[in-house]
Homo-oligomer: A and B are copies of this chain.
Amino acid sequence: MKTSVSKKNNMSKPLILVTNDDGITSKGIRELVNIASQLGEVFVVAPDSPQSGMGHAITVDKTLHVKKSHIFEGIASYECSGTPADCVKLAKHHFLKGKKIDLVLSGINHGNNASLSVIYSGTMSAAVEAAIEGIPAIGFSLDQFGYDIDFSHTRSYAATIISKVLNDGLPKHMALNVNFPKISDEEIKGIKVVRQTNGYWNEEFDERVSPSGRPYFWMGGEFVNREPEATDNDIWALENNYVAVVPVHYDRTDYQSLEKLGEQFFSK
């Protein structure tokens, strides 16, 4: 399958890979493609179906199916049966092999990926996958669910953040988790660089019975903020109508506990 990055004389334009987790037909990725194509040459590899909640899943021991997409006019696009992380791997190591990808953008997600949602988020896993590869990356999410939500208030902020990262770069192997507040009568107040909120999802399982008599479940639940008084985290920023930007890394080592654990549990 041959790539179709433009051969025209646009060497000065940065190459921007765009993906998401809601699938290539979602409104959010169309918004992001529109914004990004003002700032660079866009190449899209995105899931062919919704991949919400896929975390950092990758497709192992199964085949990956890809086809050329015609959904974005004039923009090279592929839709893939895999996860968001698969899409980035496939773009980097197959479609754009040997080319320098200047930036990976993921989203705009329908629903926020603040606090603990970052670990369940396919949107952010795509951005982190790029960070692993050493490519600057940004995951964008809007704090509102629904299919046909309004992204118009996010455009200028998304363009500003993308431009800054294209100009200044990012520390290597770091990705940005950007969450936009939902639209309201009040204008967005600005951008806050903040940390991940300490919170969790309190699950509830709705047990039902299928027509053939077998039990099944719907998982639901509500978010619990473990630090509702804090004013330096992403939930606070969203609730106060700021764009929340969290720098994200992929080293899972708990360095604070490393030495103590060595002494306490497994010395010698």
Q: Which of B61, B90, B164 contacts A52 (CB 8 A)?
A: B61
Q: B258 contacts A248, CB within 8 Å?
A: no
Mark out the residues of chain A between 190 and 233 whose CB falls within 8 Å of any chain B CB in the assembled complex.
Answer: 190-193, 195-196, 198, 200, 202-205, 207, 214-219, 221
Q: State whether the Cβ of A182 lies closer than 8 Å to any Cβ in chain B.
A: no
Q: Are A253 and B246 in contact (CB under 8 A)?
A: yes
Could you tell me how many residues of chain A have their Cβ less than 8 Å away from some Cβ of chain B?
81
Check: A53 CB closer than 8 A to any chain B CB.
Answer: yes
Q: Hey, which chain B residues are within 8 Å of A268, CB to CB? A: 190
Q: A residues 142-201 with Cβ under 8 Å of B?
A: 161, 164-165, 168, 171, 174, 177, 190-193, 195-196, 198, 200
Give the Cβ gap from A78 to chain B, nearest Cβ, in Å: 11
Closest B residue to A55 by beta carbon equals B56
Q: Which residues of B contact A251 (CB under 8 A)?
A: 195-196, 198
Of A6-14, A24-32, A112-120, the segment with at least 4 beta carbons within 8 Å of chain B is A112-120
